[in-house]
């Protein structure tokens, strides 16, 4: 074999005389390899994990530079699911934006719906009714549970434990059934409206949720049995992907990622909305900032969500779900078909939307994945001049290269799972 | 060729065909069993569409794999790419050949067959394709051949995922091969013979080796899992990391061969655990099974099958329960725990046998077995205490329960 020159290395590789791509020599680090796309012979190997890969949670693409199994560099590439939600929102009435929020963090659609409604109401200065408030709390906590269930399940799969995933999905299905009973949709719920909810819960729904609240902790206990003291699980998660409290704040992490690092920041406690300060619940905080603590924090948060659901159900009294102002809430269908004034309000709202005063608002809520913020700028028309989302996954994902410092290939998968990303929200 | 030689060959061919078909059909049914077991553990029905209770699912899968398109990456090394599945499949199926599946059957015939001529056989026929006097060594040699198939598959695919899978497989299989081989030396020390029939005979006289050689069993079982490339040792094909690892580029029947090899390995490991540590076809507390006869052969085969089946189930049970090791942890377990453990165990057992047989003069297999059992209780407790308290593998010991989730109340 003659030594190859730099020119040959840089030249475009071609097929040989028989039309075959030439074969790859293995383990020859000095000589550039001879195949089409290779760094096989190079000292470091670039591996694409994603956008089509079993463990990228959507269409995240990680370009990983490997030296053997050790990871030298991780570069996340995003944008494969870009839908332009924020721009689309500028051409929609406020109520019409709500369906877009379903599709950002599609693992907790109800929480997004509620968050958007809250932001718009803050902009317009609307006070919601008591029943609406409690229903929104219920919607948020249900979302937190399903989102964390998906997280724990898929992280289990990424670490090789398949079975608990299905146990958790069985529970998630129960919440989906409740969501379906309430809104008619399992995933694209669009449950909230400016100044109220899209519908009240159907008869018997509360009993169904009560039953869930009663039996769901049993599954959590089973998952706890499978993971928490499992030697392999501990070995794979403890001390992996460590983030100190200081770094976590500097990387602007939020949600369980931040709390696992020991920072007790929870929007529900620190800037209470929906009357979360009335509820009795704890904010679990980790101390090592590794995957294991993130797991423990999320598991505990599910227990806390169950507590909140229980209290919210106890407080839930019959009453109106929409504000009485007919310029904000659509009148009931029966009235708009029979009553002249109601029909006018219906027409005005559908055709012209609701116009907030000129101004801007940032409203942050504690979504399952972290602090979800909606920033709205109003120029006085019925459509927002600007709508920006602060997606928790996006900011959490930005810390991935830092988290993967000194990790092995398997750790990258585990760390990526522990961040709990959802690409709909990152690419928007 | 004399009639006796012809008779021997004839029986060997019949046994070969029977065992091979048994393994192939068994493997097909195991894929169904695995999915049913998984379904059972995961609160779902498992396959139930093809045939009653999904019993024809393996047939459907087989047909599907036969008629699927065979794809080959354009830059793959075509010869090795073709060779690898075969190299993986053949040793896996060969292994079962030396394992005695039942009590020897007394056979006595002397007859003339068309084309073949006069054939005759007198005496006990071992119910194994080949009851080799070096059965043990054969198993170790052939099971270590499996690594070539996987390593070559990983390399020849010319894919990065496959390459990493192949490299992991080579490292893993070679490491655990060592521990596996060493863990079986104490068996040889006790039985004094490398033939499987003699190992079974020894267990019939004394105790099943699970009792006097518990730590051997422990090491063997773990290495066996590693040899089958299944969870928690499925790093070469780790789905969430390497997509499918070494067989990521394989499709259709070539992929099927890898699957068959995997399941054949499970059968072999289960059969070996049953044979080496649970008395093979031995029926405990009776000597009826040692007398020989058709009924004995059938019943003992049933017993062997039950033991093997339990261990096959155990392998599946573990697969659907545990997460996967990381590469360095896998190596740590292999080299830092299993290897020293089995080496030390060889020394301890060798000394113990010497002391028991020559010091105390207890040559009765049962007395020897019981005294070793007592020794194992102590050793086993010690080993598990050390392993469990996190002194060996760093990070495996769970943290104190109060570590996380220290709540911040209202």
A189 has a pLDDT exceeding 70: yes
Q: What is A92-427's CATH number, 3.40.50.11540, 1.10.645.10, 1.10.150.130, 3.40.50.300?
A: 1.10.645.10
Residue pLDDT, tens place only, A107-161: 889 999 999 999 999 888 888 888 999 999 999 999 999 999 999 888 888 888 8
Pick from A43, A35, A51: which is nearest to A70 by CA? Answer: A43
- Model confidence band, residue B392 (pLDDT cutoffs 50, 70, 90): very low
Nearest CA in chain B to A26: B155
In angstroms, the CA B248 to CA B75 distance is 14
Residue pLDDT, tens place only, B178-209: 888 888 888 888 887 778 888 887 787 777 88
User: A40 and B160 in contact by Cβ < 8 A?
Assistant: yes
B402 has a pLDDT exceeding 60: no
A320 has a pLDDT exceeding 50: yes
Write a three-state SS string for A116-128: HHHHHHHHHCCCC
- Token pair listed for B138: 């054969």
pLDDT of A115: 92
pLDDT of A21: 58
Residue pLDDT, tens place only, B252-274: 888 888 888 888 888 888 888 88
Residue pLDDT, tens place only, A370-406: 899 999 999 888 899 989 999 998 998 888 888 888 8
In angstroms, the CA A212 to CA A175 distance is 8
What sign has the CA pseudo-torsion B21, B22, B27, B29?
positive
Q: Which of B328, B404, B407 sits opposite A293 (nearest CB)?
A: B404
Element (H, E) at B381: helix B365-388
* DSSP assignment string, A271-308: S--TTGGGS---B---SS-SHHHHHHHHHHHHHHHHHH
Is residue A324 within 8 A of residue A128, CB to CB? The reply is no
In angstroms, the CA B10 to CA B119 distance is 8
Residue pLDDT, tens place only, A209-266: 999 999 998 888 888 888 887 778 888 888 888 888 888 888 888 889 898 888 888 8
Residue pLDDT, tens place only, B311-342: 999 988 888 888 888 888 888 888 888 888 88
- The complex's ipTM works out to 0.80
User: A235 and B395 in contact by Cβ < 8 A?
Assistant: yes
Q: Chain A neighbours among B 319-348 (CB < 8 Å)?
A: 320-329
A412 has a pLDDT exceeding 70: yes
B48 shares contact with chain A (CB less than 8 Å): no
Is residue B159 within 8 A of residue B243, CB to CB? The reply is no
pLDDT of A375: 92
Counted across chains A and B, CB pairs separated by less than 8 A come out at 155
A408 shares contact with chain B (CB less than 8 Å): yes
**Which letter does DSSP use for residue A246 in this model?**
H
In angstroms, the CA B280 to CA B26 distance is 18
């Amino acid at each position: 074999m003659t030594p190859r020159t730099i020119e040959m290395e840089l030249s475009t590789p071609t097929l040989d005389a028989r039309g075959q791509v030439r074969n790859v020599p293995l383990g020859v680090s000095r000589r550039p390899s001879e195949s089409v796309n290779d760094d096989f012979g190079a000292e470091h190997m670039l591996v694409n994990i994603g956008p089509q890969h079993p463990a990228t949670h959507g269409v995240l693409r990680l370009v990983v530079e490997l030296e053997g199994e050790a990871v030298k560099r991780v570069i996340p590439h995003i944008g494969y699911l870009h839908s332009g939600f924020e721009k689309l929102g500028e051409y929609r009435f406020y109520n019409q934006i709500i369906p877009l929020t379903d599709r950002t963090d599609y693992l907790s659609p109800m929480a997004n719906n509620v968050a958007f409604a809250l932001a718009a109401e803050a902009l317009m200065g609307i006070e919601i009714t008591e029943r609406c408030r409690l229903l929104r709390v219920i919607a948020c906590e249900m979302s937190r549970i399903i989102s964390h269930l998906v997280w724990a399940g898929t992280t289990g799969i990424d670490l090789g434990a398949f079975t608990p995933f299905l146990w958790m999905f069985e529970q998630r299905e129960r919440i989906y059934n409740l969501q379906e009973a309430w809104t008619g949709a399992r995933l694209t719920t669009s449950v909230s409206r400016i100044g109220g909810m899209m519908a009240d819960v159907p008869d018997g729904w509360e009993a169904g949720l009560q039953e869930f609240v009663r039996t769901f902790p049993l599954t959590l206990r089973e998952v706890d049995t499978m993971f928490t003291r499992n030697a392999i699980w501990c070995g794979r998660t403890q001390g992996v992907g460590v983030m100190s409290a200081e770094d976590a704040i500097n990387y602007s992490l939020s949600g369980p990622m931040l709390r696992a690092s020991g920072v007790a920041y929870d929007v529900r406690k620190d800037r209470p909305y929906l009357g979360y300060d009335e509820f009795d619940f704890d904010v679990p905080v980790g101390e090592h900032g590794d995957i294991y603590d993130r797991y423990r924090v999320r598991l505990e948060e599910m227990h806390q969500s169950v507590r909140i659901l229980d209290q919210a159900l106890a407080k839930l009294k019959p009453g109106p779900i929409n504000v009485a102002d007919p310029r904000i809430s659509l009148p009931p269908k029966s009235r708009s078909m029979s009553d002249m004034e109601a029909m006018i309000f219906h027409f005005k709202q559908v055709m012209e939307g609701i116009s907030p005063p000129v101004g801007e608002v940032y409203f942050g809520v504690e979504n399952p994945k972290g602090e979800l913020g909606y920033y709205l700028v109003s120029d006085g028309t019925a459509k927002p001049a600007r709508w920006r989302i602060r997606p928790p996954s996006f900011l959490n994902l930005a810390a991935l290269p830092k988290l993967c410092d000194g990790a092995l290939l398997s750790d990258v998968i585990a760390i990526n799972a522990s961040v709990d990303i959802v690409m709909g929200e990152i690419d928007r | 060729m004399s009639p006796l030689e012809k008779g021997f060959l004839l029986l060997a061919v019949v046994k070969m065909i029977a065992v091979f078909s048994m393994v192939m059909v068994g493997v097909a049914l195991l894929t169904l069993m695995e999915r049913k077991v998984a379904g059972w553990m995961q609160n779902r029905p498992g396959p139930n569409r093809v045939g009653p209770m999904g019993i024809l699912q393996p047939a459907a899968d087989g047909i599907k794999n036969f008629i699927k398109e065979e794809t080959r990456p354009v830059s793959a090394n075509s010869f090795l790419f073709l060779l690898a599945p075969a190299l993986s499949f053949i040793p896996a199926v060969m292994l079962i050949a030396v394992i005695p599946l039942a009590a020897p059957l007394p056979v006595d015939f002397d007859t003339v067959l068309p084309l073949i001529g006069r054939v005759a056989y007198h005496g006990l026929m071992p119910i194994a394709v080949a009851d080799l006097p070096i059965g043990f060594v054969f198993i170790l040699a052939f099971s270590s051949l499996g690594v070539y198939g996987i390593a070559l598959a990983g390399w020849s695919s010319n894919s990065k995922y496959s390459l990493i899978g192949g490299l992991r497989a080579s490292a893993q299989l070679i490491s655990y091969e060592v521990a596996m081989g060493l863990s079986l030396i104490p068996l040889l020390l006790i039985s004094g013979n490398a033939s499987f029939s003699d190992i079974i005979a020894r267990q019939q006289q004394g105790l099943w080796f699970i009792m006097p050689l518990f730590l051997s069993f422990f090491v063997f079982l773990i290495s066996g899992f590693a040899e089958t490339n299944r969870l928690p040792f499925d790093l070469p094909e780790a789905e969430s990391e390497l997509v499918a690892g070494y067989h990521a580029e394989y499709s259709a029947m070539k992929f099927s061969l890898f699957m068959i090899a995997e399941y054949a390995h499970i059968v072999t490991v289960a059969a070996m655990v049953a044979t080496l540590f649970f008395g093979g076809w031995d029926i405990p507390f009776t000597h009826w099974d040692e007398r020989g006869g058709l009924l004995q052969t059938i019943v003992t085969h049933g017993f062997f099958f039950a033991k093997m089946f339990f261990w096959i189930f155990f392998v599946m049970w573990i697969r659907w329960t545990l997460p996967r090791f990381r590469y360095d942890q896998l190596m740590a377990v292999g080299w830092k725990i299993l290897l020293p453990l089995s080496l030390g165990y060889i020394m301890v057992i060798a000394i113990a046998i010497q002391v028991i047989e020559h010091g105390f003069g207890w040559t009765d297999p049962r007395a020897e077995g019981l005294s070793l059992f007592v020794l194992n209780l102590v050793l086993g407790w010690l080993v598990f205490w050390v392993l469990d308290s996190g002194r060996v593998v760093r990070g495996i010991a769970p943290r104190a329960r109060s570590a996380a989730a220290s709540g911040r109340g209202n």
